[in-house]
Amino acid sequence: MTAVQGSTRARVLDRVKGQPGAVRLLRGSLGAPLHAYLFVGPPGTGRRDASIAFAAALLCPSGGCGQCASCQEALAGRHPDLEVIERAGASILVDQAREVARMALRTPRAGPYQVLVLVDFDLVEKAAPALLKTIEEPPDTTVIILIAETVPRSFVTIASRCVQVQFKPLADETIVEILMAEGVEVAIATSVAEAASGRLDRARLLVRDPGFAERLQRWRTVPSRLDGTGARVAELADELLASAAEPLEVVRGRQAEELAFLQEEAEHRGERAIAGRAAVEDRHRRELRRVRTDELRAGLAVLSSVYRERLVAPEVSAQRLGTTLAAMAAIDEAASRLSRNANETMLLQWLLLHLDT
C-alpha cells in the first residue's frame, strides 16, 4: 500500500490549487487517517474540492490515482462510500445530525473506509451535541470531514477532537491560473483576481458581473477628476460609495431567493417558520458587509496602481515622486482603516484630500 501511494503520490490531491500547506498535511495523513478533520477557511478557497479529493484518495485502491473507477466516482459525487451532507435548512438540524450519527455507524460498502463530509459546519447550532459523540468516537472505518468558515466558541470542544486543516485566501496568480484554465481572458482574469480578496467564488462572480469593469474605471479616473476643491472631493466620495453599493443588489436578490426557498421547504415539512432564520439573516448581513468592503478594497487597489504606474514613467520630478509616494501611503492607510470599520464617507473624503491630481 505504502509503495503504491509513493508511486502515485496521491495525484488526485494535485487538483487542489494554491493550498500547499493543506495538501501537504492531507498527503501525509493518507497512510493512517485520523477519524475527523476540520477544514477551516473562507469560502472560495477550495475547502470543498479538497474534501472530495481527500476522500477520493482515501477510497482509491491505489492511494488516490485520480484515474480509476473509484476516483472517478468519488470526484463525480457518486461513490457509495462518500456522503456529502448539506444543511437542509438555515442551519444543520437536530434530525439531520442524528441521521449523520446513524450514517457514521455504517460499514463501508466498497473499500476500507467511508467518508462523511459536513458542509457549513459553523451553522450546526443546536445540533452540535447530537454530533459530538459521533465526531469523538466514530468507528475506525469512518472518516468525517467538517467544513467551516470559522470555529465559533461553542464548537471548540468538537474542533479539538479534529485535525484542523487551514485554508488561506488564494494568491492572485492562482486565481488567474484557474480562471484562464476555464477560458477567461488574461486581462479580465488579472483585474478580477486583484479584486477577489483571494476567493475563487468572488472571482467567478466578478467575471460574470457586467458592471465590474466600469466600476473599476471610476476609481482609475479619480486622480484626473480631482481639482483641488472640497466640493469635488465630496462629490467623488459619494460617487464611489454609490458605486460600491451596486453589486449589493445582485446579492440581495440571491438572499431573498434563499429565504423564499427555505420558507417553502419549512412549509413542506409542515412548519410555519424557518428554523434558524435569525442565523441566516445574520449571515446575509455579514455577506453584504463583506461584498461592500471587498468592493471598496478592490477600488483602493486600482487607485494605488494608478500612482504606482507614475513611478515607472520616465523623467519623474523629485516633487512628483514625493506626492506620488504620499498618495500611495494614504491609500494604504485608508485600506487599513477600512478593515477597522471606519466611517466610509469620512474615510474616502480624508483619502481624496490627500491625493495628488
Q: How far is the CB of 2 from Zn ion (least distance, A)?
A: 16
Rounded to whole angstroms, the Cα distance separating 308 from 332 reads 12
When CB distances to Zn ion are compared, the closest residue is 60
Q: Which stretch binds Zn ion (CB under 5 A): 61-69, 115-123, 138-146, 205-213?
A: 61-69
Q: Which stretch binds Zn ion (CB under 5 A): 57-65, 258-266, 278-286, 334-342?
A: 57-65
Q: Which stretch binds Zn ion (CB under 5 A): 14-22, 64-72, 155-163, 290-298?
A: 64-72
Rounded to whole angstroms, the Cα distance separating 212 from 219 reads 11
Contact positions with Zn ion (CB under 5 A) in 220-239: none
Q: How far is the CB of 79 from Zn ion (least distance, A)?
A: 11
Q: Which helix (H) or strand (E) holds 145?
A: strand 142-148
Contact residue for Zn ion among 52, 55, 58, 65 (CB under 5 A): 65
280 binding Zn ion? (CB under 5 A): no
User: Could you tell me which residues come within 8 angstroms of residue 258 by beta carbon, excluding any fewer than 6 positions away?
Assistant: 280
Q: How far is the CB of 11 from Zn ion (least distance, A)?
A: 8
Cβ count near 235 (within 10 Å): 13
Q: How far is the CB of 113 from Zn ion (least distance, A)?
A: 14
Q: How far apart are the first and last CA of the chain?
A: 66
Q: Number of helices (H) and strands (E), helices first, in the chain?
A: 16, 5
60 binding Zn ion? (CB under 5 A): yes
Cell of residue 174, nine digits: 492562482
Nearest CA-CA partner of 291 in 212, 234, 175: 212
Q: Which stretch binds Zn ion (CB under 5 A): 59-67, 80-88, 106-114, 331-339?
A: 59-67
Q: Which stretch binds Zn ion (CB under 5 A): 70-78, 92-100, 203-211, 256-264?
A: 70-78
Nearest CA-CA partner of 220 in 355, 116, 322: 355
Q: How far is the CB of 66 from Zn ion (least distance, A)?
A: 6
CA atoms within 13 A on the CB side of 111: 24
68 binding Zn ion? (CB under 5 A): yes
Size of the site for Zn ion (CB under 5 A): 4
Q: Which is nearer to Zn ion, 7 or 154 (CB)?
A: 7
Q: Which is nearer to Zn ion, 68 or 188 (CB)?
A: 68
110 binding Zn ion? (CB under 5 A): no
Q: How far is the CB of 65 from Zn ion (least distance, A)?
A: 4
Nearest CA-CA partner of 284 in 245, 244, 253, 240: 253
Q: How far is the CB of 163 from Zn ion (least distance, A)?
A: 23
Nearest CA-CA partner of 12 in 64, 76, 59: 64
Question: Coil, strand, or helix at residue 138?
Answer: coil
Rounded to whole angstroms, the Cα distance separating 318 from 133 reads 68
Q: How far is the CB of 12 from Zn ion (least distance, A)?
A: 7
The letter for the amino acid at 313 is A
Helices 344-353, 230-268: inter-axial angle, 10-degree rounding? 150
The letter for the amino acid at 18 is G
Q: Which stretch binds Zn ion (CB under 5 A): 26-34, 56-64, 181-189, 240-248?
A: 56-64
Q: Which is nearer to Zn ion, 68 or 248 (CB)?
A: 68
The letter for the amino acid at 254 is R
Contact positions with Zn ion (CB under 5 A) in 169-208: none
Contact positions with Zn ion (CB under 5 A) in 151-170: none
Cell of residue 85, nine digits: 451532507
Contact residue for Zn ion among 71, 192, 207, 244 (CB under 5 A): 71
Q: Which residues bind Zn ion (CB under 5 A)?
A: 60, 65, 68, 71
